[in-house]
A and B are shown apart, each in its own frame.
Chain A
Amino acid sequence: MTTDTEIQAPARVERRTGQASWTTTVPAWVITTISVAIATGLWEFFGRDVNPLLGTYPSAIVKAFFSMLQTGRLQDALIQSSQPFIVGYIVAAIVGIPVGLLLGRYRILESALGIYVTAGYATPLIALVPLLILWFGLGFMVKAVVVFLLSFFPICINTWFGVKAVPKTMIEVGTAFCASQTAIMRGIILPATIPYIMAGLRLGIGKAVIGIVIAEFLTAISGLGGIIITSANSFRTAEMFVPVILIMVLAVALTALVGWLEKYVAPWQSEITGHDSV
């Protein structure tokens, strides 16, 4: 009785091919690589003419990188920095996502507590670091707290707004089929909010990086932030750039990791939008 005549709809979203020119056929990573190569080349070329106190250039940074690697200074600093970073960030995600989900779902919680999250997001939390030092000392704890504070708010606020963006009719599907509040939260709201949560996690990485570096500037001078500030104070500019670039590379890698995580936990998302997340 029933037919499968409509089954011929495309099983996969195909990208438009048609008239292919190099602007559409060259892979994105090739373009990115060429761009980075040109930028590095220009920096090397013009950077060599700059007073080494005021600027530096790529090959000098690479040289400094290997000498710091040899003394083991860089590895020690990386370990020192990454521990509070990881702890602070993961706790921010573990707390921020559920809090955001609850704020978005329950009107009473939203009106009672939403204001603090909005305010916390807008507050220059870095200004509180001197006070935090009094509370948590100068070591691991204060760094983890700073990272937590800075990354918690973007993660939480994005999750919260993500819940608000879930279409009402989608939730009504749950209601109409008598889903419990927990089933609606886990089976509809959470999956529908994943793109926002991931955006929050990405923004959180950027904030957490700022947090760890500033914390290391202001607390016991240690870790990668410590290298930055001691090198800058003694005008070793190339040396200063080593941790700066290392942090940048790590942050980019972490951001890519979140993008990969999104594709892993929400594979339907990139299929729907038809492009990969950055």
Chain B
Amino acid sequence: MAHLEVQNITKSFGTHHALDGVSFNVEKGDVVALIGPSGCGKTTALRIIMGLETATSGQVKVAGRPVSGCGHDRGMVFQHAELLPWRNTLSNIGYGLEMKGMKEPELSRTAMHYLELVGLTLAKDRRPHQLSGGMKQRVGIARALAIDPEVLLMDEPFGALDSQTREGLHGELLSIHAKTQKTIIFVTHDLDEAVMLADRVAVMHAGKISQIIPIELERPRLDMRAIRTSAEYSKKRTLIWEALHDAGVSAAA
């Protein structure tokens, strides 16, 4: 049994089908990227898995249990981090824990652990407006990880960052994944990000998954430079590019 099962989910807004039967399974500890052009339904799929939207039909199961609505078995990382401006770094990380009902002193201790995990110990007492974009997103990741979810869901988490910061965070996420072995689903429109981070890349188009491409790069992926120059990397990058391109051409035709 797969750790996360997405079974034939559809989502319609009136006559428009945002999702038209999306199914995929994710094994425990795997990283899956959803990639595709804007409006292909990738974010909608992620939001349905999180329970922020309800599917018109179909079902999502986490660790065998069907999910409806929110749940602490899934942790969400938002596109623009979405930290609460009145909370400092530590207390933002602790937000999910508080909602989970954790009390002091365990709350601060756990939040502290994840603060260290994302390397922001020195920024513990700062408020979000005193953090850079990359730091904010690290807090966002720590906040989602802190509730110790089965699955980490990330909605274009690095899309709003400059490319240097983004690559730094890629390395960070790879090392976090190596440590925590979390199952991760992330949405992206960045080819390099998908290949570098994912074990499998689901190419989406017009509300459907058109192709699932496995990335056979060994883990832990610590040497990003070596990976970038590897044959598998460029092969898979080309393959995904073609999958996206073909879908685009058939849509235009």
CB closest residue in chain A, given B79: A169
B127 an interface residue at 8 Å Cβ cutoff?
Answer: yes
A131 an interface residue at 8 Å Cβ cutoff?
Answer: no
- Chain B residues, CB < 8 A from A266: 86
B121 an interface residue at 8 Å Cβ cutoff?
Answer: yes
A1→B179 CA distance, assembly (Å) = 11
A187→B86 CA distance, assembly (Å) = 10
Among the stretches A5-13, A36-44, A79-87, the one at the interface with B is A5-13
Closest Cβ–Cβ distance, residue A224 to chain B (whole Å)? 39
Query: Which 8 pairs show the lowest CB-CB distances between chains A and B?
Result: A2-B119, A176-B76, A177-B96, A178-B70, A177-B99, A9-B132, A179-B99, A7-B122
Q: Assuming the A-B contacts A3-B119, A4-B121, A271-B127, are A9 and B135 also in contact, with contact meaning beta carbons closer than 8 angstroms in the complex?
A: yes
In chain A, positions 145-203 with a C-beta closer than 8 Å to chain B are: 169-170, 172-179, 183, 187-188, 191-192
A268 an interface residue at 8 Å Cβ cutoff?
Answer: yes
In contact, A11 and B126 (Cβ under 8 angstroms): yes
In contact, A177 and B175 (Cβ under 8 angstroms): no
Closest Cβ–Cβ distance, residue A1 to chain B (whole Å)? 5
A7→B76 CA distance, assembly (Å) = 24
In contact, A170 and B84 (Cβ under 8 angstroms): yes
B167 an interface residue at 8 Å Cβ cutoff?
Answer: no
In chain B, positions 57-106 with a C-beta closer than 8 Å to chain A are: 70-72, 76, 78-80, 82, 84-86, 95-96, 99-100
A272 an interface residue at 8 Å Cβ cutoff?
Answer: yes
- Chain A residues, CB < 8 A from B224: none
- Chain A residues, CB < 8 A from B119: 1-4
Q: Assuming the A-B contacts A170-B84, A177-B70, A178-B99, are A268 and B122 also in contact, with contact meaning beta carbons closer than 8 angstroms in the complex?
A: no
- Chain B residues, CB < 8 A from A176: 50-52, 70, 76, 78
Query: What are 12 A-B residue pairs whose CB atoms fall within 8 Å in the complex?
Result: A2-B118, A7-B120, A9-B135, A12-B130, A169-B80, A175-B51, A177-B72, A178-B72, A178-B99, A191-B86, A266-B86, A268-B129
- Chain B residues, CB < 8 A from A271: 127, 129-130
In contact, B118 and A173 (Cβ under 8 angstroms): no
Q: Assuming the A-B contacts A1-B175, A173-B82, are A6 and B135 also in contact, with contact meaning beta carbons closer than 8 angstroms in the complex?
A: yes
A5→B96 CA distance, assembly (Å) = 27
Closest Cβ–Cβ distance, residue B1 to chain A (whole Å)? 24
Interface residues of B (CB under 8 A from A): 50-52, 70-72, 76, 78-80, 82, 84-86, 95-96, 99-100, 116-123, 126-127, 129-132, 134-135, 147, 165, 168, 172, 175
CB closest residue in chain B, given A183: B99
Interface centre among A10, A11, A177 (most CB of B within 10 A): A177
Compute the total of residue contacts between A and B using a CB distance below 8 Å. 86
Instruction: Choose one: B72, B78, B86; the contact of A169 (CB below 8 Å).
Output: B78
Known: A169-B80, A172-B52, A172-B82. 10 other contacts (CB 8 A): A2-B175, A4-B121, A6-B132, A7-B122, A11-B126, A169-B82, A170-B82, A175-B52, A177-B147, A268-B129
- Chain A residues, CB < 8 A from B76: 176-177
Main secondary structure of the interface of A (DSSP, over half): helix
Closest Cβ–Cβ distance, residue A238 to chain B (whole Å)? 49
Interface residues of A (CB under 8 A from B): 1-7, 9-13, 169-170, 172-179, 183, 187-188, 191-192, 266, 268, 271-272
A272→B96 CA distance, assembly (Å) = 24
Closest Cβ–Cβ distance, residue B102 to chain A (whole Å)? 12
- Chain A residues, CB < 8 A from B82: 169-170, 172-173
Q: Assuming the A-B contacts A2-B172, A2-B175, are A173 and B135 also in contact, with contact meaning beta carbons closer than 8 angstroms in the complex?
A: no
A177→B140 CA distance, assembly (Å) = 12
- Chain B residues, CB < 8 A from A12: 130
- Chain B residues, CB < 8 A from A173: 78, 82, 84, 95
Q: Assuming the A-B contacts A169-B78, A188-B84, A266-B86, are A178 and B71 also in contact, with contact meaning beta carbons closer than 8 angstroms in the complex?
A: yes
- Chain B residues, CB < 8 A from A183: 99
In contact, A175 and B132 (Cβ under 8 angstroms): no
A2→B169 CA distance, assembly (Å) = 10
A90→B95 CA distance, assembly (Å) = 33
CB closest residue in chain B, given A178: B70
Closest Cβ–Cβ distance, residue A240 to chain B (whole Å)? 46
A6→B122 CA distance, assembly (Å) = 10
A2→B117 CA distance, assembly (Å) = 7
Q: Assuming the A-B contacts A175-B52, A177-B95, are A9 and B131 also in contact, with contact meaning beta carbons closer than 8 angstroms in the complex?
A: yes
CB closest residue in chain B, given A267: B86
- Chain B residues, CB < 8 A from A177: 70, 72, 76, 95-96, 99-100, 147
In contact, B130 and A178 (Cβ under 8 angstroms): no
In contact, A175 and B70 (Cβ under 8 angstroms): yes
- Chain B residues, CB < 8 A from A175: 51-52, 70
- Chain A residues, CB < 8 A from B80: 169
In contact, A272 and B85 (Cβ under 8 angstroms): yes
- Chain A residues, CB < 8 A from B168: 5-6
